[in-house]
Amino acid sequence: MDTTKTEATGSRRWLALAFIGLAQLMIVLDVTIVNIALPSAQADLGISDGDRQWVITAYTLAFGGLLLLGGRIADYTGRRRAFLTGLVGFAAASALGGAAPGFGALLGARAAQGAFAALLAPAALSLLTTSFTEQRDRARAFGIFGAIAAGGGAIGLVAGGALTEYLDWRWCLYVNVPIAVLAAAGWWVLPADTRPQVRQRIDGPGAVLAVTGLVAVVYGCSEAESEGWDSALVLGLLFLGVALLTGFVLYERNAAAPLLPLRVVLSRARGSAFLGIALATVGMFAMFLFLTYYMQVVMGYSALKTGVAFLPLTAGVLAGAGGLASRLLPRVPPRALIVPGLLLASAGTGWLATVDVDTSYAAGVLPAELVLGFGMGMVMAPAINYATHGVREEEAGVASATVNTAQQIGGSIGTALLNTIATSTTADYLAERLPAAGALEERRAAGGPVPDVVKAGLVEGFSSAYTVASAILVVAAAVVAVVMNTPRPAPAKPGAPAPAPAAHLG
């Protein structure tokens, strides 16, 4: 009888993982699918070139700024309740965005999407964290989840290209509704919420400091792409963000009920896992951003063909996360997977730095995607696992939110930094070869073909950015190798589940 009950509980957990994975896929898809739809939305709604970035920025500001608060709300109100609320809200905001009659309505819908995603993402990960505690099952579950986190963006490019080309850009938002409905249908297999014995109160001052500090940093990074790192606005926002976040840390040290207990991030294992996730995201975002432009502008691919060309990356991620990391994670120290994974990702990014204007897809892009994807799969599965492992159950939501915050901050800083390097390198290259820049701009505005010299300039800029991204990943590997001292998981005793490595996580 007990065996039957245990098997039923195990099956229920794996079924829950399917619905949690759907929700995570929806969030990751939204990062890239809207980028593909943006040019069509801009033309349809009459959005100016100066305003179009806000379609992306409105989402990232709300998502990145509210993550820690969303994670704590999930801890206090119940993770299943937060999960379902986030799903319903995200679906409703997506439907409103798809039906938006103008720029203002689309902007509001995107901000609402970000706010509900900030509740949904940590709730989903914390449900996974509290559902899988035995080492072997946890490794398999986080292998699947890590593959979704690292490879879902490529699926978004395919879906975005297909929907934009064959239907309409609005379907890039509408598609979230059926996914959310399917994910919400699994509410009955999710772990039931338990009421805390003591009523918890939200850390108001900590929430204000965290939200405003994160918004300032994310906004500053987004503005750096257009304004430059030395502009007064960008420097002011970044200094303000650092000051507010420093104040947040100082306040949390003595807060009675802190929004983010510092023990969550000060553990060497968890802290290095957060760092690995943030810096790995730099490489992933660089690859998506510049490779999309390379395939569409330099190679002349359509949006759909570009999306399909990213599929080998997803295959590499699945092999690295589900094929290798999930098998080895219960047997080896986490840095034995994360460090080689970062080095492989660095090699893949470095490979892209060698791609030229006339390099074929099979000789350049394809092998680089496979190597980079495999490395990222090796990184994300163990890093997300150990970033949330060993925390107290009542802190699982805020620990999960910190994982998403690391991804968001890493992506924002990395995109702004590497885009600045790429555009400045391209500008210098063209300045030496095209003194008549005005004539070139007129030709491009008229819809003429992109001259070969411009393609060469773009590739030169991408190569410089890839080189820097590759170096960042090597530095990340070195830091994780030194800091993450978590030993190999202890072997399970015969007939007993393997102990969780909480004792090693500080």
Class of residue 226 by CB neighbours under 10 A (exposed 0-12, middle 13-18, buried 19+): middle
**What CA–CA distances, in Å, run from 271 to 181, 403, 480?**
35, 10, 9
For 161-194, the pLDDT digits (tens) are 788 778 888 888 898 999 999 888 887 878 776 6
- Please give the share of the chain, as a percent, with pLDDT higher than 90: 16
- What is the predicted pLDDT for the residue at 503? 33
- What is the predicted pLDDT for the residue at 339? 92
User: Residue 3 pLDDT > 50, yes or no?
Assistant: no
- What is the predicted pLDDT for the residue at 216? 87
Cα distance between residue 74 and residue 391, in whole Å: 15
Q: Which residue has the tokens 């509410």?
A: 187
For 474-503, the pLDDT digits (tens) are 998 998 888 887 776 655 444 444 434 333
The first and second tokens of residue 477, run together, are: 């590997």
For 250-271, the pLDDT digits (tens) are 988 888 778 888 887 878 888 8
Average pLDDT over residues 195-220: 78
Q: Which residue has the tokens 């350049």?
A: 364
Average pLDDT over residues 102-118: 91
Cα distance between residue 105 and residue 87, in whole Å: 20
Confirm if 209 and 241 have CB atoms less than 8 A apart.
no
Confirm if 491 and 380 have CB atoms less than 8 A apart.
no
Cα distance between residue 152 and residue 25, in whole Å: 6
Q: Which residue has the tokens 């294992």?
A: 269
pTM, full prediction: 0.78
Q: Is the Cα torsion angle 362, 368, 369, 375 positive or negative in sign?
A: positive
Q: Which residue has the tokens 């991408």?
A: 462
For 306-354, the pLDDT digits (tens) are 888 888 888 888 888 877 887 887 788 888 899 999 999 999 999 999 9
Cα distance between residue 282 and residue 470, in whole Å: 9
Q: What are phi and psi of 257, to 5 degrees?
A: -130, 80
Q: Which residue has the tokens 């395919």?
A: 158
Cα distance between residue 423 and residue 227, in whole Å: 12
